[in-house]
């Protein structure tokens, strides 16, 4: 066999191997029996003062992570900015044990309607530390939390589900984002309509903020392009995934239990947990 023929055979075999591998990878998802309870949807948090990911002597330390970066709680990857498609929004009032005194899981979770009823009945009071608590119950506090469920668009065309929670001084950012989404309109020919929230992408980054109580990093939310203008190769699949994600959360098929932040209290922190009355 001549050298030229050997090279041709080797090239053909390599091509066959690649084709076989490609076919196997595209044969369909794993047959593993996983349901909603077997997945962990990550939070994308801002790394703030006292975060263990920033402390070199902490087991959760991430080399190269910087104050104010965005942090994926499952992959431990950090970002300067992310591009997301908003899928679902809800606001909940989460009752927590004081930091360091409980298991780290919520004591209870209330809807805005339930919390409003507690207020009307005089069962909730705001303390000098600006935390809201049930009357006569000093060992827990209640945190007003906005939850944005999103699809994160990664470099290279992949995507993943995530949660971005906003509280305290960031509730104003959440309201602004909701206003942007609710005012979206698309024009197609003679038709003007309000599309799904995930029809528009948004770029999220952070900026340093401060008030009389101290400084911290907050969210910056900028409108990006429509999903079909981003040059994505899998637009239809992403839309289908987002649609199913939205339905699963709304129906309760996916139920996410809030987590208490890793970060220790910063000057902005515990003194402004509910945020509405705090200057920005």
User: Considering the domain boundaries, does residue 189 fall inside one?
Assistant: yes
User: Considering the domain boundaries, does residue 228 fall inside one?
Assistant: yes
* pLDDT band, very low/low/confident/very high, at 221 (cuts 50, 70, 90): very high
User: Considering the domain boundaries, does residue 117 fall inside one?
Assistant: no
User: Considering the domain boundaries, does residue 59 fall inside one?
Assistant: yes
User: Considering the domain boundaries, does residue 231 fall inside one?
Assistant: yes
Please write down the HEC assignment for all residues of 24-38: HHCCCCCCCCCCHHH
Mean pLDDT of 130-159: 94
Q: Which domain holds residue 57?
A: 38-83+148-272
CA distance 174 to 90: 10
pLDDT digits (tens, 9 = 90+) for 22-78: 565 555 555 555 555 556 899 999 999 989 999 999 999 999 999 999 999 999 999
Over 80: is that where the pLDDT of 211 sits?
Answer: yes
Element (H, E) at 201: strand 200-211
- Among residues 184, 209, 193, 199, which one has the least CA distance to residue 84? 199
* Count of alpha carbons within 13 angstroms of residue 171, beta-carbon side: 19
Mean pLDDT of the chain: 84
pLDDT value for 38: 59
Residues in the chain: 280
Mean pLDDT of 209-234: 93
Residue 53 tokens read as: 């990911």
Mean pLDDT of 90-113: 90
pLDDT value for 40: 82
CA distance 267 to 214: 5
Answer for the pair 192, 185: CB distance below 8 angstroms, yes or no.
yes
User: Considering the domain boundaries, does residue 62 fall inside one?
Assistant: yes
User: Considering the domain boundaries, does residue 180 fall inside one?
Assistant: yes
What total of structural domains would you count in the chain? 1
Residue 189 tokens read as: 């020919």
Rounded to an integer, what is the distance from CA 61 to the centroid of its chain?
20
User: Considering the domain boundaries, does residue 264 fall inside one?
Assistant: yes
pLDDT value for 128: 86
Residue 214 tokens read as: 């101290």
Q: Which neighbouring-strand residues pair with 207?
A: 218
- Percentage of the chain exceeding pLDDT 90: 66
CA distance 151 to 201: 9
Please write down the HEC assignment for all residues of 52-95: HHHCCCCCCCCCCCCCCCEEECCCCCEECCEEEEEEEEEEEEEE
Whole-model pTM over 0.75: yes
């Amino acid at each position: 066999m001549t050298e030229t023929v050997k090279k041709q055979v080797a090239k053909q075999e390599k091509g066959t191997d690649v084709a076989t591998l490609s076919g196997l990878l595209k044969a369909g998802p794993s047959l593993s029996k996983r349901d909603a309870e077997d997945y962990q949807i990550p939070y994308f948090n801002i790394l703030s003062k006292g975060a263990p990911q920033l402390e070199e002597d902490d087991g959760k330390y991430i080399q190269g992570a910087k104050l104010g970066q965005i942090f994926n709680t499952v992959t431990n990857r950090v970002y300067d900015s992310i591009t997301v498609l908003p899928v679902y929004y809800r606001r909940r009032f989460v009752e927590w044990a004081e930091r360091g005194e409980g298991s780290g899981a919520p004591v209870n979770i209330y809807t805005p309607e339930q919390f409003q009823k507690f207020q009307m009945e005089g069962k909730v009071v705001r303390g000098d530390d600006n935390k809201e608590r049930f009357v006569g119950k000093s060992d827990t506090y209640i945190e007003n939390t906005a939850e944005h469920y999103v699809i994160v668009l990664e470099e290279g065309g992949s995507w993943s589900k995530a949660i971005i929670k906003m509280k305290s001084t960031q509730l104003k950012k959440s309201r602004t984002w909701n206003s942007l989404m609710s005012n979206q309109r698309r024009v197609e020919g003679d038709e003007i309509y309000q599309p799904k929230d995930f029809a528009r992408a948004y770029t999220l980054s952070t900026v340093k903020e401060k008030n009389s109580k101290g400084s911290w990093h907050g969210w910056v939310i900028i409108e990006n392009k429509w999903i079909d203008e981003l040059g994505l190769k899998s637009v239809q699949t992403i839309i289908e995934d987002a649609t199913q994600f939205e339905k699963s959360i709304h129906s309760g098929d996916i139920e996410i239990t809030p987590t208490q932040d890793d970060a220790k209290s910063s000057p902005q922190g515990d003194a402004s947990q509910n945020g509405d009355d705090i200057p920005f």
